[in-house]
Homo-oligomer: A and B are copies of this chain.
Amino acid sequence: MTHTVLKSLNQSLHDMMDADERVLVLGEDLLDPYGGAFKVTRGLSERFPDRVWTTPISEAGFVGVASGMAMRGLRPVVEIMFGDFLLLAADQLVNHAAKFRWMYGDKVDVPLVVRAPMGGRRGYGPTHSQTLEKHFLGVPGLVVVAVNPLVEPGAMLRAATLDDVRPLIFVENKLMYARRVRTPIEGRLGAMRARQQGEPYPTTTLSFADVPASDVTIVAYGGMVEIALEAAETLLIEDEIYCEVCAPTALHPLDIDPIADSVGRTGRLVVCEEASAAAGFGAEVISAVSGRAFDALECAPRRVASRPVPIANAPTMEEAILPQVADILEAVRGSVGRWRASRSA
């Protein structure tokens, strides 16, 4: 029985609302029959008419409202229709929600979940295709997680909503909604050995089963995970390069251990992200790995990212701007090639 990421999230919301009266859902255009721009909330308003609040177009305002609700006993899940609009709520997230618990001497909790569908590849143009979570990383008190199809997205959403008392941005990816969830079964995912560490926002580490040591660690999160896996397969077949793919879901605070361990085994690091590179997730991973596993690094870590321009609307340009399998191949080959060349010399 397979299901999509969309289905997993939607089902999780249904189950949570069914089980826990404190769960409320807020956002734009959530009501059935429309059920939200990407249909993650479909069917909720019909079943729970009092607890699905379709909002005015007021991203700052309704994130603020939800913070207030969270501080007074509820478990609101907010949908930002397109993650691009999260910037409108930046002050609410950083100067309000993220600060309240610590600033108020731990007297309050803010169990707020803000869901944000990010990413391009759908031709939506400059203001509806961005991957903006990098700008929200590193805020004291604010958690950022990103799902991918190797974990059960609904379970992660449930943990974020019911078990986590911290305000949290839950990054989804527009293209990923239609993907099948395929979590590892008995330590394997297809041809790869799979390990998941870190609850409730696990990092999945995948490696080809019968290889003692892989050649390179590829880190990818969210929408880049599937692309990294495709690259890893190609590299195996075409280049006999063995990749370990690390797919973290906790972007901040980042659990660097599984990544640093992997680099400890491979000595080489390529980090993929859909945003442009500067001061992004890859920068943090490379810095943190440098801090933890510097001696293991055999060559310069590389970043695969968007070109640093707005995401153009025209498909020819959008494709060239966003990171593709080919970019990962190039980065990995660059890393490994240098080493192979030096080894065979």
Q: Are B138 and A276 in contact (CB under 8 A)?
A: yes
CA gap between A287 and B136 in the complex, in Å: 19
A264 to chain B, nearest CB (A): 13
Copies of the protein in its oligomer:
2
Contact of A300 among B99, B138, B294 (CB under 8 A): B294
* Chain B, Cβ-Cβ closest to A286: B287
Q: Are A309 and B278 in contact (CB under 8 A)?
A: no
* Chain B, Cβ-Cβ closest to A295: B300
State whether A102 and B284 are in contact (beta carbons under 8 Å apart), knowing that A95-B127, A134-B138, A252-B278 are contacts in the complex.
no
Q: Are B140 and A127 in contact (CB under 8 A)?
A: no
State whether A99 and B127 are in contact (beta carbons under 8 Å apart), knowing that A136-B135, A252-B279, A287-B287 are contacts in the complex.
yes
- Chain A positions within 8 Å of B, measured between CB atoms, are 84-85, 87-88, 90-91, 94-95, 98-99, 102-103, 126-127, 132, 134-141, 252-254, 275-284, 286-288, 290-291, 294-295, 297, 299-303, 308-310
In the complex, 20 of the A-B residue pairs with CB atoms within 8 angstroms, ordered by the A residue number, are A85-B91, A87-B94, A88-B90, A102-B310, A103-B310, A135-B139, A137-B278, A138-B279, A138-B308, A140-B308, A252-B279, A253-B278, A253-B308, A283-B286, A287-B301, A287-B303, A290-B290, A291-B301, A291-B303, A294-B299
